[in-house]
Amino acid sequence: MKRWINIRGNLYDLSIPRVMGIVNITPDSFYEKSRQTDEKGILETVEKMLAEGADMIDVGAFSSRPGAVIVDEHEERKRLDVALRTIRKHLPNTIISVDTCRASIAEWVVSNYQVDIINDISGGKSDKDMYRTIAKLQVPYIIMHMRGTPLDMQNRTHYQNVTQEVIYELSECLYNARHEGINDIIIDPGFGFAKTLEQNYELMANLDALKILDCPILVGVSRKSMIYKLLDTQPELALNGTSALNLVALLKGANILRVHDVSAAKEIMKIYQTLVKAKSINHAE
């Protein structure tokens, strides 16, 4: 499986799992503590994540929770401008991913703020120009699996076999993206997007099947409803469940964990790497 991506002309190794910290510059993301809308809050959040060991930061200017309405392009630009200007001014070497479905936004953030990665929850289906734009920009591109939009995705959860169909639908996106000339692709199975609670766990149990797509795998389950609804709690109390699933994801081949809680994720990484090392020593003997 391919385990590197090109960041600013340098090969970035994903054979060592990485942590992506989530910064939501929105007033309505499902996890209240992740919301930051002013320069001071954004800077403090990013500084804290980097100090705790985040390898990259994912900046999102609209909520993608079930039922959410995507903001207009003007508002998305305005929110991103504040965040990206602040990060690049004070923390210029930060690897930044921007969560957007719009090709025009992707081109704007890469050209003006040297954004390193574009994270597209629609997998290129929301904007017919996205693949062509990413190919021109030659930045790594995260293709996530989703059916429909955040507004209607939970009405599109009929699968005969969720793992097989997610792989098939991602493979179609991969084919089209590569046909346009995109070289560096990361796949995200889209936990919580057009999947029921049970389907999310079935997909996690079979996550290693996604290796057939020969791309690095990103997993984002941090404090999601698949955890807090199962445990009958709230996002604010879902860190234990998040940590448990993140360790499962690593054991099944995840290369990037997208998280709200960087320190906890780094502890999980250390445990995972120690397990891998112990297993390799045992095989060597």
Write down all domains in the chain, each with its CATH number in brackets: 4-284 (3.20.20.20)
pLDDT of residue 78: 92
d(C-alpha 205, C-alpha 281), whole Å = 26
| pLDDT value of position 31 | 46
pLDDT the model gives residue 69: 67
Residue 148: the pLDDT is 83
- Is there a catalytic annotation at residue 147? no
CA of 17: how far to CAs of 45, 195, 248, 259, in Å? 22, 25, 13, 13
DSSP code of 155? G
Residue 284: the pLDDT is: 57
Which phi and psi (to 5°) does residue 188 adopt? -130, 120
Instruction: pLDDT tens for the chain, 285 residues: list them.
Output: 778 899 999 999 999 999 999 998 876 555 455 556 688 889 999 999 999 999 999 999 887 666 566 788 999 999 999 999 999 999 999 999 999 999 999 999 999 999 999 999 999 999 999 999 999 999 999 999 999 888 788 888 999 999 999 999 999 999 999 999 999 999 999 999 999 999 999 999 999 999 999 999 999 999 999 999 999 999 999 999 999 999 999 999 999 999 999 999 999 999 999 999 998 776 655
DSSP label at residue 148: S
Q: Catalytic site residue 258?
A: yes
Q: What DSSP letter does each residue of 57-75 carry, written as one string?
A: EEEESS--STTPPPPPHHH
Catalytic residue among 8, 224, 229, 279: 224
CA pair distance 136, 139, nearest whole angstrom:
9
Q: Are 120 and 141 in contact (CB under 8 A)?
A: yes
Which residue is listed with tokens 């062509």?
132
| C-alpha distances in Å from residue 132, one per residue of 43, 48, 116, 176, 188 | 32, 35, 17, 10, 20
The residue length of the chain stands at: 285
Name which of 261, 268, 262 is nearest 31 in CA terms.
261
Q: How do beta strands 141-144 and 117-120 pair?
A: parallel
Name the one residue in this structure whose structure tokens are 């025009």. 104
- The reported pTM is 0.93
Q: Quick one: pLDDT at residue 154? A: 84
CA distances for 248 relative to 142, 166, 194, 201, 207, angstroms = 21, 19, 21, 11, 9
Enter the tokens of residue 130: 């996205």
Among candidate residues 65, 156, 258, 266, the one labeled active-site is 258
Alpha helical stretches, state H, 23-161: 39-51, 73-90, 103-113, 130-137
